[in-house]
Structure 1
Amino acid sequence: MQHDAPAACPVCQTPVLKGDVYCEACGHALGSAVCAFCDAAAVDAEGYCERCGLRQPTDRDHAEIVLVGGAAGVTDRGLRRSRNEDAMALLTAGGTTVTVVCDGVGSSPRADEASAVAVETASAALCRGLSPEEAFDLAGRAVSKLATSVHDAPACTYVSAVVGAGRVTLGWAGDSRAYWLPEGTLLTTDDAVPTGEITAWLGADAVGVTLNVRTLTPRGPGHLLVCSDGLWRYLDGYAFPRAGTPLELARELLRHALDSGGQDNVTIVVIPLGEAHE
């Protein structure tokens, strides 16, 4: 099927004729979607503009989830990244709240795909009642299937929480974290060397990675915070807000990350427990 074409190719500016489907000079598909940043009709099938090189906005750039009962999650592209490579799930099943947050490893290819498939796979498994280890293993297999080789292996970090009956079970690999609010108590330990490089992740090139698991019973009301490093890198010395709904708290934490520089994607899930649930 032919499409009307502009007088010149939007990528290389070579003259083209009406009815041409491709630019004979550079091969660009004429009639492509228009770039949201430079207005060129030059967006390729993977969502990148062939003129300015930027990835087009998607529904992952900013998303919010609010559950009946109050738990809420927010994910945002941040101010410096061209796309959001974080992913989150927030679900309820049989009186239990399940969340999974994954942060795509920026040095790996298609990191956004890795985080998305890991979140979808693990959250579904946890809602079915599988153990944190089983859910993590299934997510790892799903991410590994995205690779064409160990040299082309999408990867992501991982943190999950299963909350029910006053008990929290956490599972993590990498440097995505969980905190207890309002005190800001860190509940996880990073899989990373002192320079910050992570030592555990999901992906075909991950070797010998096992899930860290911790179960705890909070002694009082509060909120569980699960987040990516796009937030926690800005938490040193930060006074967590003590009032507000989970969505209000998540939005306030996002504003803090963006006001502090927003150098990375930001994902925040807040789950109330005890009297905070009321």
Structure 2
Amino acid sequence: MSEDVTVSGDPEGAATCPVCEAPVVAGDTYCEACGHALGAPACSSCGAAAVDPEGYCERCGLRQPTGRDHAETVLPGGAAALTDRGLRRSRNEDAMALLEAGTAVVTVVCDGVGSSPRADEASAVAVETASAALARGLSQEEAFELAGRAVTKLATSVDDAPACTYVAAVAEPGRVTLAWAGDTRAYLLPEGVPLTEDDAVETGEITAWLGADAVDVGLHVRTFTTRSGLLLVCSDGLWRYLDGYAFPVTGAPIEMAREMLRHALDSGGQDNVTIALIPLGDTHG
């Protein structure tokens, strides 16, 4: 945490506000000139103690890095997942979970709806709620309902309804159960066979999501059996760049996920990128 005030270069060493540079008195909570909250965290770019509660520097405008800018998870059995802010977004509004539950591997990936407020909060609470429910052995339908309730509780008004898309997978030896709403996808590798269908119109606008303003959203559930391959679950930050892409066929899942991330970033990195890879069938574990 930075000091409450910064010291100017005048002979008397008068303290000044880090935003407007007006004189302030040591111990003040707010700058009387501009209202800035003194004692805020320091900006990672300009150094001013001027980062607001939303994570933006009030002096230079930079969004501060967070633990969600890039994160990776690798399970003992080899399953791996990563999420990345990408190159164009100020924050990562994707969220992911990857965990083991007995002989099963559970993953949930949610993509915050960019047109909704606090979309990063929606995806985070949906992932946390649904993954915990699936790990306890609840059904896909039950987990989805609980996640929907959690996201709905975030809304404070009709105009403040955080929202996110949703996909969840429970991979057991030889059997996978998928559930989704929105345009977050799953594929079977190495061929890249699509396992989900987008809830979207021709313009790309989604027609299903989690949130207080979601109406009559139905959950798609699919179960299939397989003895080999990899399950890929990803947000549109990856799949929008998959046309003509040759999926990697060698390496550990985390290495393959990093290679896919590099492809998405090299292709423009327009959106947040989240990738989960789970070995299936005889390769699981």
TM-score (norm 2): 0.93
CA distance in 1, matches of 2:278, 2:78: 7
Deviations 1:117-147 (A, max 9, x none): 0000000111111111110000000000000
Q: 1:191 — aligned with what?
A: 199
Please state whether the residue corresponding to 1:235 is helix, strand or coil: coil
Query: How many pairs were matched up?
Result: 276
Q: 2:273 — aligned with what?
A: 266
Deviations 1:134-184 (A, max 9, x none): 100000000000001232100000000001031111000000000000101
Deviation for aligned residue 1:36: 1.2
Given the superposition, is the C-alpha separation of residues 75 and 59 from structure 1 closer, same or farther in structure 2, using an over 3 Å criterion? same
RMSD: 1.4
Deviations 1:194-236 (A, max 9, x none): 1100000000000000101111112x42100000000000000
Q: Which amino acid aligns with 1:210?
A: G
2:109 aligned with 1:101, yes or no?
yes
Q: Which amino acid aligns with 1:246?
A: P
Please state whether the residue corresponding to 2:72 is helix, strand or coil: strand
Deviation for aligned residue 1:4: 4.4
2:5–2:18 contact (8 Å) kept in structure 1 = no
Q: 1:75 — aligned with what?
A: 83
Q: Percent identity over the alignment?
A: 77
CA distance in 2, matches of 1:182, 1:101: 20
Please state whether the residue corresponding to 1:134 is helix, strand or coil: helix
Deviations 1:41-69 (A, max 9, x none): 10123322112333211111110000011
Match of 1:45 among 53, 58, 82: 53
Deviation for aligned residue 1:16: 2.5
1:224–1:271 contact (8 Å) kept in structure 2 = yes
Q: Give 1:12-31 correspondences, 5 Å limit.
A: 12-31=20-39
2:166–2:210 contact (8 Å) kept in structure 1 = yes
1:177–1:226 contact (8 Å) kept in structure 2 = yes
Q: 2:245 — aligned with what?
A: 238
CA distance in 2, matches of 1:136, 1:4: 47
Q: Which amino acid aligns with 2:151?
A: V
Structure 1 gaps of 5+ residues are none
Q: Give 1:1-278 correspondences, 5 Å limit.
A: 3-7=4-8, 8-218=16-226, 220-277=227-284
TM-score (norm 1): 0.95
Structure 2 gaps of 5+ residues are 9-15
